[in-house]
Structure 1
């Protein structure tokens, strides 16, 4: 069998769905809930394997003087800079340490989705000097016959969800990546001041993580991602622009 980056990247969403279902079968749908530490742990453990060894992942708070964020589900940070506090995966970090933040949800309705975006954009606003990856990771329904992405793939009408996207566009470090692992990927394009939503099915999670790696690579001033690896991280031959569903811009 020849190497196949496209099929390899598809297995990322399969991995998350398999782990999600494995836990659900043990604890039942009634205990899956809107929020849950177990989903954060699933994502955190994946990131620890996926990211370079000189990058760390935890959960906790960002502190800038007297300003302290709400608790953040996932913080990706540079461990070479001083931390206020660290105990296992729980951390309190300074803004300069932060490379990325991710909020984790199960299946938020449009109002809860808007709340999560507003919250993430507010936290990102604490980090003034450096661009970060600011993401929302949606696990989707607990029932395999239901999907979240069809709701996300419909162009936002006037309402809290659209207002939250506008708010993120107005902030330097507002939320910039949203994914539902059953197929929707939303990206903020800073140069065009817009959000674009893509229906890329089982590659949505892969593109979320590839953009995370890209952002960290640029922030940490590494040598850059070589072209051969770029093709591996973004394996749609014709590019994802053929799968665009909507744009929201100011």
Structure 2
């Protein structure tokens, strides 16, 4: 297999993304700490920058927005009443929502802020300018809640649509305690969070710093057995020539949901290319069914 052109292309794009953010820090420096002078705008700028870069490479039916997911307890489909004993629910405000607005309607839109139904949600990302230890548990818990709000109503698991791709993304990172490797800390926090096994789709698929590393969840076979009903988490440390890995993983995760057979009958194109790199196995966490 080749794919070197794609690897070089994506690497240049990630370097360009990080360079644009660096220019923001250069133009609006902080007098007291690393980064830009306006911390709130600093974080929002990273969100907007990542949204713009993702939007460039996705099918036109998909929009990369921010806002909320509303799951109303009403009939779906022709006359499906699976939600009759439920109540209306909504998510917290989400940094990035990748929505299939070409297929599904939107409840409300004001600029890039929307309120959308769960059926439209393809991916959700929590974005941090600087990813820290304290972010992991809280943000992954919020993402698990998103997975539950977006869960399909079909009674039979094999008939449920695939849930959205969930990720926690930073433009940089800072882990205070150097005595324990950051990837080990992350896995320990995830294992504690998922002590009561969730569905596979509710577990975060990506945690990473686009400027150097990421932890990801490997997808198991569709046909589960007692031997493969645990999610395997792995870690990659990246050199400057390998930074395309993290951004490509985000693109690949979005497209894998968009083109999944439970959502549409279309063949996924060859669009990303991952060279073989040594992954560090962090461990496995049991789950209770794919969806």
Is the shorter-chain TM-score for this pair beyond 0.5, marking a shared fold?
yes
SS of aligned partner of 2:131? coil
SS of aligned partner of 2:168? strand
**In the alignment, structure 1 residue 108 sits paired with structure 2 residue 140:** no
Return the offset for 1:147. 9.2
Residue in 1 that maps onto 2:16: 15
Note the residue ranges of structure 1 that are not aligned, 5 or more in a row: none
More helix by share: 1
- Partner residue of 2:94 out of 72, 79, 82: 72
Q: Aligned pair count?
A: 236
**In the alignment, structure 1 residue 225 sits paired with structure 2 residue 268:** yes
Q: What CA distance in whole angstroms lies between the structure 1 residues aligned with 2:90 and 2:151?
A: 14
Query: Per-residue displacement from partner, 1:76-104 (whole Å, max 9, x unpaired)?
Result: 11112122111221110111111111110
Q: What CA distance in whole angstroms lies between the structure 2 residues aligned with 1:167 and 1:61?
A: 27
Q: CA RMSD in A?
A: 2.9
Return the offset for 1:224. 1.9
| 2:132/2:175 contact within 8 Å kept | no
Q: TM-score, normalised by structure 1?
A: 0.81
SS of aligned partner of 1:207? helix
Q: What CA distance in whole angstroms lies between the structure 1 residues aligned with 2:16 and 2:175?
A: 17
Query: Per-residue displacement from partner, 1:202-236 (whole Å, max 9, x unpaired)?
Result: 1222223222222222264253234xx25xx1230
Return the offset for 1:190. 4.4
Q: What CA distance in whole angstroms lies between the structure 2 residues aligned with 1:48 and 1:210?
A: 13
| 1:117/1:175 contact within 8 Å kept | yes
Q: TM-score, normalised by structure 2?
A: 0.71
Residue in 1 that maps onto 2:256: 214
Residue in 1 that maps onto 2:235: 197
Residue in 1 that maps onto 2:25: 24
Return the offset for 1:186. 2.0
Residue in 2 that maps onto 1:247: 283
After TM superposition, the structure 1 = structure 2 runs for residues 1-250 of structure 1, keeping only pairs within 5 Å, are 4-28=5-29, 29=35, 31=37, 33=39, 36-65=43-72, 66-79=88-101, 80-129=103-152, 130=161, 131-141=163-173, 154-156=183-185, 160-164=189-193, 166=194, 170-171=198-199, 172-191=201-220, 192=228, 193-194=230-231, 195-201=233-239, 202=243, 203-218=245-260, 220-226=263-269, 229=270, 233-236=272-275, 239-240=276-277, 242-250=278-286
SS of aligned partner of 2:66? strand
Q: What CA distance in whole angstroms lies between the structure 1 residues aligned with 2:208 and 2:196?
A: 16
